[in-house]
Structure 1
Amino acid sequence: MNNKFLGTGVALVTPFNSDLSVDHDALKNIVNYNIENGVEYLVICGTTGESVTLTKQEKKAVIKTISETNNGRLPLVLGIGGNNTAAVVEEIKTTDLSGIDAILSVSPYYNKPTQEGLYQHFKAIAEVSPIDIILYNVPGRTSKNMEADTTIRLANDFSNIIAVKEAGNNMAQYLELLKNKPEDFLVISGDDDLALGVVLAGGAGVISVIGQALPKDFSEMIRLGLKGDPKAAYKLHFKLIDVIGYIFEENNPAGIKAVFEALGLCADTVRLPVVPASSHLKEKIKAYLA
């Protein structure tokens, strides 16, 4: 089993200055804060990193800052996905993947392919990727669910497809994946609110949004779940559940950036079409953190 991705991975935000340029100093601080507080791996340029509004040059610079700050301490996962299969294949071929442990590739959005279309998309990616692949199913954003059967088929057919980040917020689908997956295939929760339940049912951990702001408690909760200590784990889960709700109340990453702003780690600046969290939501977050 690929132990690199057991536990808590965090989908890092991309902090911005008030002029909307990338705030590399804040990014370094966030990386160190997460490493020092016990997360197991870092995810670069995922949805939470606002990757769709970064230019190619900015993406390169973000990867460089995170890689250099990490300095080999934790495994790194890089988001490379999209809804144009040929373009995704080309990006994988032309990206310097040295120092990256796996690619996180989102299920195609907007086009609404069939299950066979999803299979063929990921088959094309698996055939060119020189490193491991984590599939990413997030129907709330893609408008198309990748069914458990399709994920299992890909897991069985391609040895470099090692995991799925499942974010359908659907416990029945998680359980179907856990029941039918190949033994060494990892089911990683993409739902912060369900992550502990998934781990207790046999999941490998989580790629978390809230985990990067409260890494100590969140990663400890997941470790306790992996150790089979539900009582202690749920104690932390109940402590975190309100703030998990808050950060997704309006938009991700506006919510998590509001938490970071309250913690003094980065500004709440986001790029359009995302707007910052409302003052009402910020008040709730501040009250929770206090």
Structure 2
Amino acid sequence: MAIFKGAGVAIVTPFKENLEVNYDKLGELLEYQIENGTDSIVICGTTGEASTLTHEEHLECIRFTVEKVNKRIPVIAGTGSNSTDTAIYLSTEARKYGADGLLLVTPYYNKATQRGLKEHFTDIAKEVDLPIILYNVPGRTGCNLLPGTVASLVKEVDNIVGIKEASGNISQVASLMHLTQGDIDLYSGNDDQIVPLLSLGGIGVISVLSNIIPKETHDIVANFLEGNVTLSREQQLKYIPLIDALFCEVNPIPVKKAMNLLGFEVGGLRKPLTEMEPENTQKLVKAMQENGLKLI
């Protein structure tokens, strides 16, 4: 059984003015997501600025989220690392806290071979009895997890059950689904490709867009899975300009700006991320207003 079907939010990590993690605000965001139909919380992913959290902060965010959500919807913990030992440590701790699943990004910077990737994920999976979603985002990691490698992992490792595909390469995703014979839970990692990946057998999205319009993102997936493909496609296309604006600078710079414009008060960014450029802010504001979002 899949960890979830539908739209999972790759939730931001809110900061106080001094850039400490704002757990009170995180609690508010979690409630907002659940109230608006989000199907799963993905904590400490790219959007959550996990790369600049200390290990202690990283694990406390996972613990806090699991406790706050309290099994109302699944919580998936981002516990990937470019060090296999570190990923094992974070993953085993997340399991102790009660996470429902793990999201494991491909090792970044190291540029592991396909053999190295297979051994990396296999070693982690052996140490933790939780369902695992692989995360392929070569544009950020410099490392592409190829379909043959994924197919081998899914066949040989019982608790590797899914993949968040953010390569942007539809042909690669089609090859993946062919080689796995659909025996993998496919999630779009790109908000502008939700419907295309659903059409190849996907069951959901792990979304940045859900931070600001959770119900609408949920509906794109729900309508497709219920057979309302035309409506799902119309909704996907409607939000393309907004999605483009959310990625006109590196994620999560624009989505945090968008949330602050909406009054969520999620704070700033930890360096080396910096505030959004004025011209890009104008583009984001325009896209948000065109979609009827009320800015403060």
- Counterpart CA distance in 1 for 2:114 and 2:62 is 32
The amino acid across from 1:44 in the alignment is I
- Counterpart CA distance in 1 for 2:61 and 2:90 is 16
The amino acid across from 2:282 in the alignment is E
Q: Is the 8 A contact 2:14 2:21 kept in 1?
A: yes
Structure 1 unmatched runs, 5+: none
Q: Would you identify which runs of 4 or more consecutive aligned residues in structure 1 move more than 6 Å? A: none
Count of aligned pairs: 289
Per-residue displacement from partner, 1:247-281 (whole Å, max 9, x unpaired)?
11111001110110111112450000011212222
- Counterpart CA distance in 2 for 1:233 and 1:176 is 24
- Counterpart CA distance in 2 for 1:95 and 1:219 is 26
Partner of 2:242: 243
Per-residue displacement from partner, 1:29-52 (whole Å, max 9, x unpaired)?
211111111111000101110011
The amino acid across from 2:100 in the alignment is D
The amino acid across from 1:213 in the alignment is I
Percent of matched pairs sharing the same residue: 37
| Other structure's SS at 2:96 match | coil
Partner of 1:86: 85
Deviation at 1:182, TM superposition (A): 4.6
Partner of 1:230: 229
Partner of 2:114: 115
Partner of 2:68: 69
Q: Is the 8 A contact 1:38 1:216 kept in 2?
A: yes
Deviation at 1:22, TM superposition (A): 1.1
CA shift in 2, pair 1:22/1:283, >3 Å: same
Deviation at 1:117, TM superposition (A): 0.9
The reply on whether 1:196 has 2:195 as its aligned counterpart is yes
The reply on whether 1:132 has 2:138 as its aligned counterpart is no
Structure 2 unmatched runs, 5+: 290-296
Per-residue displacement from partner, 1:109-138 (whole Å, max 9, x unpaired)?
111111111111111111111211111111
The amino acid across from 1:206 in the alignment is V
Partner of 2:213: 214
Q: Is the 8 A contact 2:16 2:22 kept in 1?
A: yes
Deviation at 1:183, TM superposition (A): 4.4
- Counterpart CA distance in 2 for 1:185 and 1:171 is 16
Per-residue displacement from partner, 1:16-75 (whole Å, max 9, x unpaired)?
112111122221121111111111100010111001111122223322332232122100
What RMSD in Å do the two structures reach over aligned CA positions? 1.5
Q: Is the 8 A contact 1:260 1:268 kept in 2?
A: no
- Counterpart CA distance in 2 for 1:40 and 1:97 is 22
- Counterpart CA distance in 2 for 1:261 and 1:81 is 28
- Counterpart CA distance in 1 for 2:141 and 2:16 is 29
| Other structure's SS at 1:194 match | helix
TM-score, scaled to structure 2? 0.93
- Counterpart CA distance in 1 for 2:177 and 2:229 is 18
| Other structure's SS at 1:193 match | helix
Q: Is the 8 A contact 1:109 1:143 kept in 2?
A: yes
The amino acid across from 2:55 in the alignment is K
The amino acid across from 1:204 in the alignment is I
| Other structure's SS at 2:164 match | strand
The amino acid across from 2:90 in the alignment is E
Deviation at 1:214, TM superposition (A): 0.6
| Other structure's SS at 1:113 match | coil
Deviation at 1:95, TM superposition (A): 4.3
Q: How does 1:238-277 map to 2 (within 5 A)?
A: 238-277=237-276
| Other structure's SS at 2:99 match | coil
Q: Is the 8 A contact 1:11 1:48 kept in 2?
A: yes
CA shift in 2, pair 1:86/1:213, >3 Å: same
- Counterpart CA distance in 2 for 1:258 and 1:7 is 25
Partner of 1:52: 51
